[in-house]
Structure 1
């Protein structure tokens, strides 16, 4: 397989390259900047399931250990706390619900992993000005005349790439919010605030608007103020009003402003995330307001979805149509993120008087009225998208999807849902899943049927017992079931006492194959590479069975 080109060396591009390397695929990563610009905290909130993805390339534990862990989200109206909730932890996860760490530091850690990975070629100072493709590959042209060709291109060059989006013929429709938001990273000591996210509606120190406070490493706090459209940061800093604004929150404490900026938030989405051999990911594909931390976290999920599918198609384990499902799944995820964050922004910044009246009524009643409290929208925090309607998912009448759960909760395991993590005798479930397709069999399931289906499934496939993986029963697996887990740890199917044909059909659907294809002979060797270990070759197809 020829190298895959990755356009953009932000976290989404870095993750894409490292994940492709994990599948034995060479990448060339291009970025127009001359070098990494370590400026500001930017995206700080890294969600547990994204840390899991990063751990598969050897970075998640370091990011989590260096970051600040928080599990509680508190919401206030003026000086009264309306509610708080602690985020759910299904199974026995390896990471906390959220870790706060600057995007700059996350990028540095990922850069270290890239430097140790011979299959990733990171090139700075390559300003791409043209993209051409045909049936066999993609060529990019740079401003200096350099031309590079690859098998596919993952386009994750950030939000400001309208010219390149136009070359691909995609629209980037949506809208921008008029209000601005002032963001400051402030190093100071705030006892009791170091492990929780705080959201204030209409506090005395920002009347009529909102303030969001997040803890970060090194006694640093990220504070976001909603400010009017004409806000002038330089003028406020020069007059001393910025210092007064900060002291109104933290009191008369010594502090240092580490970084400050003003943002206008946008809500936009491309109409197509697959354009032939080009897959669009991250901010290049979708923009959402940051309330809920759904930007970077969703972009990393784009990267994982793209990487395993490119690897499967490029290695001949799945047909080219599998890449169509990248759009199906990640475009749907972006639509949900836009719906969730737009609802939040409409509550934070009411678009009309009727909405403003509703907001005032809800906030005034919420302290004493639980029904009103449930209507307060300070941002539904990032969560994985559930591929229940994906063409790759086989639905189960015994495990129907009940819809979006309450904020802070997750749905029960079932087709389309990211599988909860549990430690078993073979290792962590999500680590094992990310080595290929994983079949889990109950005690009374037809294990021979599962082995036979795995033996003719293209790509690395493994069969293990549910009791080996989940001895405590955290998944709620039943004795007659066979579970099929995708290489991105989402559940492709839960089959009740299935036949060999039904298992094969679900595996074929999960790779968009539409049929069975012989892949290896029964006497081929069985191997499996430990999760997170860089490889110079694709993971070998494996069909191991429980003892």
Structure 2
């Protein structure tokens, strides 16, 4: 491999990115950018961190893996409660349960339950160790201006109005980021649901409930509505009740009805309310996730109902997608057009989340008599008819989006995407799918997980029968940033990776810097390798039949 093509990702760049919002999405964006050597200024309206309530508690396996790349994932997994089983009940009878699968052999569990407040603390500690990240509390962004050279953020601070400049910005302002969305001229269309939801974090001893998620349709202790129960660390349980739109928490506390509500779930045992809140669900999305030099991420770009834990988890995937693409552009490894694919990929993910969660809400909170009858019929039949179970929607749990239709993905007819898999399952490895995480033994880096070596740039994984010299030369010609060629046989000492990929002879797997598979090439010519790499970097591709004449060095 041409050594000029292998660059250190932690060498600082001259460009700077402003991250607006210091919640989990903003924190993750900043940490990932710093990992790529990009200086970051983080702006937040609040005067300091406010660790109030558990908020988003369910962190999905692949999100924990993203956090591990910045030094936080293992800590979050170790401190949280892990679970792999989801149970669903109708009244007092269990309808079904399923265990979440792993396409590889990840060291992380399918889900980790830990309070958002604690997650933010751990991420803050990681940020404190990154000199490239400058955090500025008490900076409310009141205006956004940009031109061909950069972004100017006008901030209101206790000391007066200041301007912060950057080459690019990522807006992670959360659900209440109306001012920034207005400044960018994006819409935030959608709907709000009428019913309210009551959250109580209860500290109590509930044997047998510590390692599974429980969802109840129409339980005797919340007739006509739903209850969701999640385990959390320190013998704490998150209980969500669906309640009427006119629900009054203060009145229920004063009358003692809240205590009765809790005891109908946990029984006559001691408990402590750690946190409580009432909230309304929304389903909204911006029409554009890239506006010039500003990208929108997390709740500032999309709001979904939380059944399925698709809020915070989706924001982290936004962050990783934005970070590697901004880094590539700022380093000169990719043209600015690569940023268009941020909208293409993450807006498609948003639409998928809205479709999934809106269908769930239609089932949980039917708005017409026809929807109510259909739900009663499905739930009743599901008690005795296994065929009806598939129609019961208690929330499809968070999963990575599949970039099979992305402009960066090279399709392969021999590895077609078979559509959305059954709940709890994952699609087979292939173009547009995140690579499975599998134990490896890499003699060059001493790393022991496949995704660890996948996140340092573009990775070309070759199977037996591939002319690696020709592929290496083609990659050196096509890739302007870090690229590494690895033979599957050299790192897959147990055969686990070959099994997880269902690898075949004479294949070249092109893995993106966010561990997604950009292409699987069958016995490719050098021209096909060049075309796939250029496409994965957002560059105009030359047809493979013409690439030998136009893009390849003479000796390939």
TM, length-normalised to structure 2 = 0.92
Partner of 2:486: 464
Q: Does 1:290 align with 2:306?
A: yes
Q: Is the 8 A contact 1:66 1:217 kept in 2?
A: yes
Q: Distance in 1 between matches of 2:484 and 2:83?
A: 35
Q: Does 1:481 align with 2:503?
A: no
Q: 1:58 aligns with which of 71, 94, 108?
A: 71
Partner of 1:398: 414
Using the TM superposition, give the Cα deviation of residue 448 of structure 1 relative to its aligned residue in structure 2, in angstroms. Answer: 1.3
Q: Does 1:509 align with 2:525?
A: no
Q: Does 1:493 align with 2:491?
A: no
Partner of 1:338: 354
Partner of 1:160: 176
Partner of 1:433: 454
Q: 2:364 aligns with which of 348, 369, 379?
A: 348
Using the TM superposition, give the Cα deviation of residue 468 of structure 1 relative to its aligned residue in structure 2, in angstroms. Answer: 2.9
Q: Distance in 2 between matches of 1:91 and 1:364?
A: 37
Q: Is the 8 A contact 1:422 1:470 kept in 2?
A: no
Aligned residues: 520
Q: Distance in 2 between matches of 1:328 and 1:515?
A: 18
Q: Is the 8 A contact 1:446 1:498 kept in 2?
A: no
Q: Secondary structure at the match of 1:423?
A: coil
Q: Deviations over 1:72-130 (max 9, x none)?
A: 00000011000000000111112110000000000000000000110001110001101
Unaligned residue ranges in structure 1 (runs of 5+) = 522-547
Q: Which is further off, 467-476 or 413-422?
A: 467-476
Partner of 1:448: 469
Q: Does 1:220 align with 2:236?
A: yes
TM, length-normalised to structure 1 = 0.94
Q: Does 1:273 align with 2:286?
A: no
Using the TM superposition, give the Cα deviation of residue 149 of structure 1 relative to its aligned residue in structure 2, in angstroms. Answer: 0.3
Q: Distance in 2 between matches of 1:466 and 1:236?
A: 62
Q: Does 1:135 align with 2:135?
A: no
Q: Which is further off, 470-479 or 377-386?
A: 470-479
Q: Distance in 2 between matches of 1:96 and 1:227?
A: 32
Q: Distance in 2 between matches of 1:236 and 1:515?
A: 63
Q: Is the 8 A contact 2:460 2:486 kept in 1?
A: yes
Q: Secondary structure at the match of 1:145?
A: strand
Q: Distance in 1 between matches of 2:208 and 2:70?
A: 34
Q: Distance in 2 between matches of 1:179 and 1:465?
A: 55
Partner of 2:424: 408
Q: Does 1:124 align with 2:146?
A: no
Q: Secondary structure at the match of 1:424?
A: coil
Q: Deviations over 1:294-314 (max 9, x none)?
A: 000000000000000000011
Q: Secondary structure at the match of 2:76?
A: helix
Partner of 2:7: none
Q: Secondary structure at the match of 2:281?
A: strand
Q: Is the 8 A contact 2:143 2:179 kept in 1?
A: no
Q: Distance in 1 between matches of 2:71 and 2:180?
A: 32
Q: Secondary structure at the match of 1:440?
A: strand
Q: Does 1:98 align with 2:101?
A: no
Q: Is the 8 A contact 1:446 1:499 kept in 2?
A: no
Q: Does 1:310 align with 2:326?
A: yes
Q: Distance in 1 between matches of 2:531 and 2:197?
A: 50
Q: 1:363 aligns with which of 361, 376, 379?
A: 379
Using the TM superposition, give the Cα deviation of residue 515 of structure 1 relative to its aligned residue in structure 2, in angstroms. Answer: 4.6
Q: Which is further off, 506-515 or 336-345?
A: 506-515
Using the TM superposition, give the Cα deviation of residue 476 of structure 1 relative to its aligned residue in structure 2, in angstroms. Answer: 1.1
Q: 2:123 aligns with which of 103, 110, 128?
A: 110
Using the TM superposition, give the Cα deviation of residue 455 of structure 1 relative to its aligned residue in structure 2, in angstroms. Answer: 1.6
Q: Distance in 1 between matches of 2:431 and 2:296?
A: 26
Q: Deviations over 1:126-159 (max 9, x none)?
A: 0110100000100100122110100100000101
Runs of 4+ in 1 over 4 A off after TM superposition: 515-519
Q: Distance in 2 between matches of 1:268 and 1:130?
A: 22
Q: Distance in 1 between matches of 2:379 and 2:141?
A: 49
Using the TM superposition, give the Cα deviation of residue 164 of structure 1 relative to its aligned residue in structure 2, in angstroms. Answer: 1.6
Q: Distance in 2 between matches of 1:131 and 1:342?
A: 32
Q: Distance in 2 between matches of 1:513 and 1:408?
A: 35
Q: Is the 8 A contact 1:294 1:381 kept in 2?
A: yes
Using the TM superposition, give the Cα deviation of residue 2 of structure 1 relative to its aligned residue in structure 2, in angstroms. Answer: 2.2
After superposition, the CA RMSD in angstroms is 1.3
Q: Which is further off, 173-182 or 136-145?
A: 136-145
